[in-house]
Amino acid sequence: MSSPLVMRIMSLSINTAKRAGSIIRDVMQKGNLGIVEKAKDDLQTEADRSAQQCIIASLSKQFPKVNIIGEEGSSDLNVSHDWLVTEMDLEFLSKTCPSDLIDVKDEDCIVWVDPLDGTSEYTQGFLEHVTVLIGIAVKNSPVGGVIHQPYYKHDTGEVGRTIWGLKGIGCGGFELKTAPDDTFIITTTRSHSNPIVQSALEALSPSEVIKVGGAGYKVLQLLEGKAHAYVFASPGCKKWDTCAPEAVLEAAGGTLTNMFGDHYEYHVDVEHPNREGVLATIGTISHSDIVKKIPQNVKDALKK
């Protein structure tokens, strides 16, 4: 008997994210990034386009009835054999599916794909910040996610790592750590700040602010014990930025919501922008205490 759908999607997503990561490295190595400005402060490169094609084609081929939404719009599914990933990660596939996910049907799944999160950083050479994000929502909520870092450097010299999380199992691919409770460290944007983003940070009086690119990489700061909270009081992030990070963080005991403390919905017809900002915290600090400290001018700006 074949494994439950969610386990198969996760297992194929792990290998597909790795392949997308190698495409991202190849584009950089060849040096012709083919930068297009989609909107103000919103770039797309050949790596975003190619990585998305690889991911969407590979997942759609094996899961034709599952809704898949990628940042870069509709993709040509006729990709070269070389870009089509067909093998699942067998180690993940051998895990026991959480009982509440065993009977999930194709039509209940929405896969949110950010083929390259941190494009600004990619074009500026901050390659560690780049991630590939594949998030699996069931009906309205993210349950599983893959965060691949194509440029992560292992001590052995090997490059790239793949982090996964599934609610009911936990997470893997890295060593989960908790930031010390005698400090309060916030991670936030390095390339999309504005006065409202700043006033939310100031109201929280952090002991340190770590400015890095990408929603994926910021949630990794939380998972690796480098920060307590990810605070971004801006409508700039989209559902593909937060689906995988939310699933992985929550599988590890944290919380990711809007700046009002409410979870976003991830159904197929939902609007893409996360208009009410992003607030993520690790499990050892109070999410609601942070929500209470957000000043009214910030709330008003996000509710517009």
Site residues for ligand AMP per CB under 6 A:
41-42, 117-118, 189, 191-192, 213-215, 232, 234, 236-237, 241
Q: Which of 119, 162, 189, 281 is catalytic?
A: 119
User: To the nearest whole angstrom, how small is the minimum distance from the Cβ of residue 257 to ligand AMP?
Assistant: 16
Paired tokens of 101: 């996910």
For residues 68-107, which are near Mg ion according to CB under 5 A?
71
Three-class secondary structure of residue 9 per DSSP: helix
**Partner from ligand AMP, Mg ion, none contacting 250, C-beta within 5 to 8 A by type:** none
How far is 226 from 298, CA to CA, in rounded Å? 26
Asked if residue 128 binds Mg ion (CB under 5 A), the reply is no
User: How many other CB atoms are found less than 10 A from the CB of residue 207?
Assistant: 10
User: To the nearest whole angstrom, how small is the minimum distance from the Cβ of residue 272 to Mg ion?
Assistant: 11
Q: Is there a catalytic annotation at residue 281?
A: no
Q: Kindly write down the DSSP assignment for every residue of 164-231, as one continuous string.
A: EEETTTEEESS--B---TT--EEEE-SSS--HHHHHHHHHT--SEEEE-S-HHHHHHHHHBTS-SEEE
71 or 250: CB nearest Mg ion: 71
Q: Which of 48, 89, 114, 117 is catalytic?
A: 48
Stretch of 4-12, 28-36, 63-71, 156-164 contacting Mg ion, by CB under 5 A: 63-71
Nearest residue to ligand AMP, scored by beta-carbon proximity:
236
11 or 44: CB nearest ligand AMP: 44
For residues 227-246, which are near Mg ion according to CB under 5 A?
241
What is the crossing angle of helices 195-203 and 296-303, to 10°? Answer: 140
User: To the nearest whole angstrom, how small is the minimum distance from the Cβ of residue 122 to ligand AMP?
Assistant: 10
Q: Is there a catalytic annotation at residue 289?
A: no
How far is 245 from 147, CA to CA, in rounded Å? 7
How far is 231 from 209, CA to CA, in rounded Å? 10
Q: What is the CA radius of gyration of the chain?
A: 18
Residues with catalytic annotation?
A: 48, 119
